[in-house]
Amino acid sequence: MIPAGIDTSALLTMLGLIAAVWAVVPSTARLSFRLSLNWFDWLVIWAALLIIHGFFFEPVLTTLGFPTFGPWLWGFDKSTTQYLLFLLLAAFVYWRSRRTRLTRWNLGLFDNLTTSLLHAGKHEELADLLQRHLASALDLAASKSVRSHLANAIRPPRPGFQVVFQDDGSITLGAGAPTSWLFRKWFSFREWLADLVGPSQRVQRRAASVVKRLLSSRRLVGHLAIARPYLCMEVMERATRVEEGFQDEFFDALLANEASVFYSELKNNDNFGKSGHRLALPDENRLVRFYCVDVDVAARLGVFRSVGEAVLARIDADEVLEKKLNGPLLTFQYVGKYHDPVHAGIWFFRIMVLEGLHQRVADHLWLHYMPHFARRLVDRAREVRPEDENHEFPTPLAYLLYEVVDATAVWVRDAEVLTKPGDVLLPDQRKGNHIHISFEAAEAIGRVIQDILMSPRVPRRLKGELLGVALTTLRNLEQREHLAALARVMRAHLIEPYGFQKQDNYLDILKQCFDEQDHVRRACLERFSEELDAARGAAL
């Protein structure tokens, strides 16, 4: 009897299907697939394929003397077993593709894949890849693990000569290195062993180069800021060490898009906390909490510069924003401000600096951006119109000036809830229960008021109201004896702000606006009036 032939039609169908699919899969998807699998995964895949082929060629293997698989159990036969193995293999590949970890062994593939996606403009695919691997890439770029320390201990010392690491793994010893063959072999062996134990310097440099190239892409960072803001937040501290401008681009992109998480979180922070004007930090406001729960993080990362410069750039260069800010107020005070980049920047500073004050941080957190905001705003304001005197805030820009003054005044006023009668407070005090930020704000508010009063583009009524906010704060300080030092600093800088020049007419304008204040308020500020008159007399 002639034995039946081996039916390989099912096998050919499956192999043809795999080949056809692989042929039409984009190169980036192929790289992603290869990145998902390490040498052990490939061992499992090839072992499963060999077993499956073993079932197909069982008659041949039996003839050659290989043992058979024995009697079938639990109702399985050869066909169902082949199908089950294919199913398990597909499930294994899918599972491994979701649990890929970036290592020094597949860093080259990651480099090629991210380069392809970046230059092809596939930012969403790249963002998904970075969601899984950016933290690992940053870890490779600055490895501080136990294995890394052990590798450094194994790596040979090289005083007096340079070592050049090539991308292909070879090592070239520079001038001054010993020429002994034995030394060079021993040196290369120790380097190889160190690379086997932990990431080499070559790997760290390449990882840093990959991360720097990705995070320096303005378009990619803009996409990540909107689509993956919390990924950026999680890696921010390490990312800024590799690419210094990453945080700046991140906040610039957040402010440029009204739908970003930055606007929604700041709107959700419009509520008071436990004491004073301190604002609560809800758990869902993850980005704001990252910087403000421990304000030392904000100080260390310099977020005030990133936000401050982004706001100033929008004021200076955004013509559409300028037109909107100089238009009618309408509902800006209650609704529109939550979609405005300038208000977002002011409100973020308000939250951050208040947290710094209440956490007793001995750093002004660059609250002195407030005078810059005020100066740029008045420079972009339109000419005053007669009807402006009939409105409290004739334009959104006028309302933003109020927010600048009010935020700066709040940092001064909260000194009241953080101190008690009998406390000795000094401007240069940085330890203990100090109010360093309040003293800094008392200096900054003078410059804010000067820019507003000196501008011909600010209505007279608005000048009086904004000066009134500052004077009310000063009056409250003077009514508390233990805050006399703070009141003295505020009086001095309202009269002579830093950068004050005696040749301008600021003191005359200040005197005129002060005389137009409510008589009760002026009566409570006799010392301020006396010092203002003395300064005007000295300037003559």
Q: What is the mean pLDDT of the chain?
A: 85
Whether 232 has a pLDDT exceeding 80, the answer reads yes
| Chain centroid offset of residue 390 CA | 43
Angle between helices 369-380 and 436-454 (to 10 degrees): 20
- Average pLDDT on 521-537 reads 93
CB neighbourhood size of 343 (10 A): 21
In this predicted structure, the answer to whether residue 83 has a pLDDT above a threshold of 70 is yes
Average pLDDT over residues 312-316: 96
pLDDT at position 1: 39
Average pLDDT over residues 374-380: 97
Residue with structure tokens 């606006």?
A: 513
The mean pLDDT of 402-420, rounded to a whole number, is: 96
At residue 241, the 3 state secondary structure works out as helix
pLDDT single digits (tens) 437-457: 999 999 999 999 999 999 999
Distance CA 156, CA 150 (A): 12
Between 51 and 35, whose confidence is greater?
Answer: 51
For 75-79, 233-237, 320-324, 516-520, which range has the lowest pLDDT when averaged over its residues?
Answer: 75-79
Q: Can you tell me the mean pLDDT for 56-80? A: 66
Q: Is the pLDDT of residue 35 over 90?
A: no
CA gap 503, 498 in Å, rounded? 14
381 pLDDT above the threshold of 70: yes
Is the pLDDT assigned to residue 43 strictly greater than 90?
Answer: no
* DSSP 8-state symbol, 388: G
Q: If pLDDT is split at 50, 70 and 90, which confidence band does 271 have? A: confident
Q: Examine the pLDDT at 534 and tell me if it is beyond 80.
A: yes
pTM comes to: 0.81
What is the tens place of the pLDDT at every residue in 123-182? 998 998 888 888 888 888 876 655 566 666 666 666 555 565 554 445 566 565 666 667
Closest C-alpha to 419, from 439, 444, 440: 439
Q: What is the mean pLDDT of residues 294-301?
A: 95
Is residue 6 scored above 60 in pLDDT? no
Across the range 425-432, mean pLDDT stands at 89
- Indicate if the pLDDT at residue 493 is higher than 80: yes
Contact yes or no for 413/442 (Cβ under 8 A)? no
pLDDT score for 176 = 59
The answer, yes or no, to whether residue 198 has pLDDT greater than 50, is: yes
> Which amino acid, 468?
G
174 touches 164 (CB < 8 A): yes
Mean pLDDT in residue range 227-239: 94
Which residue, among 142, 113, 141, has the nearest Cα to 129 in the 3D structure? 113
Say whether pLDDT at 369 is over 80. yes
